[in-house]
Structures are given as structure tokens and as C-alpha cells.
């Protein structure tokens, strides 16, 4: 049994190679937790791809949501097995929290006139009119200009879909996830993850790693511990992170960018955020590499 399987308590290799796809979340970069088994797979596959790259000249790393753990392992801040166990605890706690309240996530693309926060406010007022106490409807992911993921009570998300034109949304599509991840509905998952991270030795990253919480570089081990916990209930500031990573003086060349693991969604987002940086982008998928080798 491989090291990952011992930590997770199931045969990760068989799960990756044989599926079923519904359980592994096989071909999509995770924009929110699917099943607890999928999150461990993202961490392992992402690092499996990284291990074949030339990393000596790497200047920065970032990971989307659970991918941030992979970025920190890559940067030497977290031990692989300890990070994998933390991901397992995080996944199970978030899944449990999601089962407590009927909730979800809505992918939205809006026109320039769109006011996402105002739309969320009105959706919360709608929920209150239905008798829902302390309703949640807020931005959970900042993806690229004019694109957000809004998460919260299902009634709020349905209200936004039904009134998409009023709020200048050109698209409002429910995501196939089971909860309102990266919102305060995930508060029950905070303590379990915090306790695990207290027991883990965290080092200062060897390369710059950018946090999902504020789009800025991690400064030290306590900073990492604090923000990994905060990330569970905070929006993923991915658009802001892309601007921070690629900020440079005019005329300076952009570095090569590698997206590792299944799916090319982050590359698509980068293209929307910074076309010049995207021109140096490459996707690496360990499963595709294996398939090519076998054929």
C-alpha cells in the first residue's frame, strides 16, 4: 500500500486508475469539495505532476482551495503525509457541515453593471421572507473579471437564478457540489482543521506561496497556520492572487506557468486575468502522461 493510501485509509491508486469518475471527480479542477476521497486525490496527483518538472528556477506557487496544501508541500512548508492527513480531516469536516444545511454554489458571469454584493443582499432578504434565520448568500470565489461563484442557502441561489436579468447576470449556473464552501456555513469545520494544524510542523516556504484568503505571500509558519484555517470560511481570492503573482515592471518578461493535475480551468482563468502571462502557460496532467506512455 502506498504512503497516501495509509494516511487516507483507502486504496488511492486504485481509486485514481479505476474510478468511478463520480467518486474521484476525475476531470475537473476542484472549485469546491466534492467528496472527501477527491480532496486527497487532488493533493497527491498535483504533487505527482510537480515532481517531474524542473523546479530549481521556480519563483512562486499558488493553489486553488484545497490545492493550496499541494503548493505548500511543494514549497517545503508542509510534510506530504501530514498535509494529506490535514486535507482528509478538512474534507470530512466540510462535508459534515454541508450536510447540516441545504446549500450550494452558483457560478455567475455578469455584465459590468453587475453588483454581486447587492444581489446577495437581496437574496438574503428573500430568504428571510421565507422564514430562514441568518441566511447565507455571499461571494465564495473571485475567479476573473465579471466572474464570481456565489454560495449559500439553496433558496437564495434559486432567487438569483430566477432574477438573473435584474442583476445583470449573463449566466447563473449551479455547480455540482454539495455545500456552500468558503462561506460561514463551513464554520463547524474550522475547529477540526485548526486542531490538526496545531500538531503539524510548518516551515517557512522555500519559494513564495500566495494565500487564497488575501492574495498575498505567506510570511511565516504561524501565518500559514492561521490563514489555512481562515480559508475554510473565506472567499477564494483567485483573481486577486493572479494579479499579485504576475505583477511586474513594464517590459519585464513573464515566467513560465505550469498548471499541474487534472483539468485546465485555472489556465482558462489566467487567460481572462492576464493574457500576456497566459502565453507562457502549460498544463501538466500525470494521468494524460501515463496514458500517452501506455499507448
Residues serving a catalytic function are 65, 182
Please tell me whether residue 276 adopts helix, strand or coil conformation: helix
Distance, in Å, from the CA atom of 166 to the CA atom of 162, rounded to the nearest integer, reads 9
Three-state secondary-structure class, residue 75: coil
Cell of 81: 503525509
In angstroms, rounded to a whole number, what is the distance separating the alpha carbons of residues 132 and 4?
42
Closest CA to 49 of 294, 289, 291, 292: 289
The SS3 call for residue 30 is coil
Write the secondary structure of 198-255 as one string of H (helix), E (strand) and C (coil).
HCCCCCCCCCEEECCCCCCECCCHHHHHHHHHHHCCCCEEHHHHHHHHCCCCCCCCCC
CB 211, CB 227: distance < 8 Å: yes
**Three-class SS of residue 151?**
strand
**Cell numbers describing residue 50:** 510537480
Contact 114, 144 (CB under 8 A): no
Amino acid at each position: 500500500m502506498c504512503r497516501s493510501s495509509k494516511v487516507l485509509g483507502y486504496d488511492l491508486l486504485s481509486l485514481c486508475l479505476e474510478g468511478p469518475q463520480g467518486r474521484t471527480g476525475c476531470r475537473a479542477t476542484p472549485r469546491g469539495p466534492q467528496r472527501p476521497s477527491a480532496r486527497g486525490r487532488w493533493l497527491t496527483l498535483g504533487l505527482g505532476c510537480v515532481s517531474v518538472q524542473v523546479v530549481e528556477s521556480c519563483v512562486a506557487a499558488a493553489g486553488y482551495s484545497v490545492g493550496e496544501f499541494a503548493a505548500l508541500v511543494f514549497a517545503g512548508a508542509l510534510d506530504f503525509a501530514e498535509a494529506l492527513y490535514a486535507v482528509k480531516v478538512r474534507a470530512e469536516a466540510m462535508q459534515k457541515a454541508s450536510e447540516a444545511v441545504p446549500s450550494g454554489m452558483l457560478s455567475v458571469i455578469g455584465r459590468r453593471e453587475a453588483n454581486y454584493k447587492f444581489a446577495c443582499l437581496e437574496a438574503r432578504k428573500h430568504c428571510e421572507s421565507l422564514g430562514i434565520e441568518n441566511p447565507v448568500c455571499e461571494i465564495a470565489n473571485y475567479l476573473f473579471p465579471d466572474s464570481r461563484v456565489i454560495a449559500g442557502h439553496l433558496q437564495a441561489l434559486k432567487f438569483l437564478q430566477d432574477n438573473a436579468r435584474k442583476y445583470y447576470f449573463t449566466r447563473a449556473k449551479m455547480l455540482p457540489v454539495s455545500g456552500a464552501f468558503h462561506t460561514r456555513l463551513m464554520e463547524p469545520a474550522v475547529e477540526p482543521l485548526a486542531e490538526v494544524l496545531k500538531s503539524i510542523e510548518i516551515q517557512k516556504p522555500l519559494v513564495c506561496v500566495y494565500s487564497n484568503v488575501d492574495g498575498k505571500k505567506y510570511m511565516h509558519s504561524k501565518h500559514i497556520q492561521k490563514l489555512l484555517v481562515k480559508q475554510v470560511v473565506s472567499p477564494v481570492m483567485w483573481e486577486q492572487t493572479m494579479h499579485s503573482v504576475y505583477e511586474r515592471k513594464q517590459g519585464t518578461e513573464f515566467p513560465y506557468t505550469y498548471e499541474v493535475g487534472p483539468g485546465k480551468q485555472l489556465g482558462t482563468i489566467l487567460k481572462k486575468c492576464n493574457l500576456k502571462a497566459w502565453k507562457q502557460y502549460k498544463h501538466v496532467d500525470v494521468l494524460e502522461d501515463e496514458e500517452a506512455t501506455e499507448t
